[in-house]
Amino acid sequence: MQLAYFHVAADVPEGDSSDAAVVIDVLRATTTIAWALNNGAEAVETFADLDILRQKAAQWPESSRLLLGERGGKRLDGFDLGNSPVAVLPELVTGKRLFMSTTNGTRSLERVREARRLYTLALPNRRAVAEQLLRDQPAQLWIVGSGWEGAYSLEDSLAAGALADLLLDADPNSARVVNDELTAAVALWKQWKHDPEGCLRKASHGQRLIGLGDHDADFSCCAELDQLSVVPVQVEPGVFCAY
């Protein structure tokens, strides 16, 4: 398994696809996806374009859908929820399809939606995703961060390193890092693995969220390691279900 990490969607090679891809948006899209599916959502459908989201959502009964939208860390007007993993409670999401668009994460998901297998990763479901990849044994794995408006993000690299570190430990004979970006991410994880929440808070996007108000519950939730067994997998373009 050849492991490569791309900081943002624009870094992913053009005109190519991978055997498997994992998209990360720690603060907070992929953490929200994992918790929503864990808490009973029928599926999470992701969109980079808000107009397309509204068109698709309108085709679903109002009682069976929720709109999740965020730009700049704030919930979009007219949407049911923003982008918080602690808001996707079972009593709200069970049996419903969540139509979701965020500032960064949904762009990366759209960029690699042609991968043969596509998963989302957050720190809470790191081990579950790693175990699925070890079963799949893809020849090539792309780990794709979401960043912030096209720029590097510390927290996504932390999670990329956390995943790679687990894969390398579990499968030292075949798992191999093939780019410097992932080597650096693994080093970052080793530095912060005893305090992942501290890293999330120090990151520029963490600082941005702190500036927007009280997000202590989000930080705690996003930093919890290996708490969930759910593996969000793309079952059709842009649609993720629990695996």
pLDDT in tens, 26-55: 999 999 999 999 999 999 999 999 999 999
pLDDT in tens, 155-181: 999 999 999 999 999 999 999 999 999
Round to whole Å and give the CA distance between 112 and 9. Answer: 8
Quickly name the fold that domain 2-233 has.
putative 2-phosphosulfolactate phosphatase (3.90.1560)
- C-alpha to C-alpha distances, 88 to 23, 114, 116, 137, nearest whole angstrom: 20, 28, 28, 32
In terms of pTM, does the model score above 0.85? yes
Q: What was the pLDDT predicted at 104?
A: 85
- C-alpha to C-alpha distances, 189 to 2, 46, 71, 161, 183, nearest whole angstrom: 19, 28, 28, 5, 10
Place of tokens 């049911």: 80
Domain ranges across the chain? 2-233
Question: By percentage, how much of the chain surpasses pLDDT 90?
Answer: 94
pLDDT in tens, 180-220: 999 999 999 999 999 999 999 999 999 999 999 999 999 99
Query: In this structure, which amino acid lies at residue 122?
Result: A
Q: What was the pLDDT predicted at 116?
A: 94
Which string of DSSP letters, residue by residue, matches the chain?
-EEEEESSGGGSPTT---SEEEEE-TTTHHHHHHHHHHTT-SEEEE-S-HHHHHHHHTTS-GGGEEEEEEETTEEPTT-SB-S-TTT--HHHHTT-EEEEE-SSHHHHHHHTTTSSEEEEE-GGGHHHHHHHHHHH--SEEEEE--TBTTB--HHHHHHHHHHHHHHHHH-TTT-EE-SHHHHHHHHHHHHHTT-HHHHHHHSHHHHHHHHHS--HHHHHHHH--S-----EEEEETTEEEE-
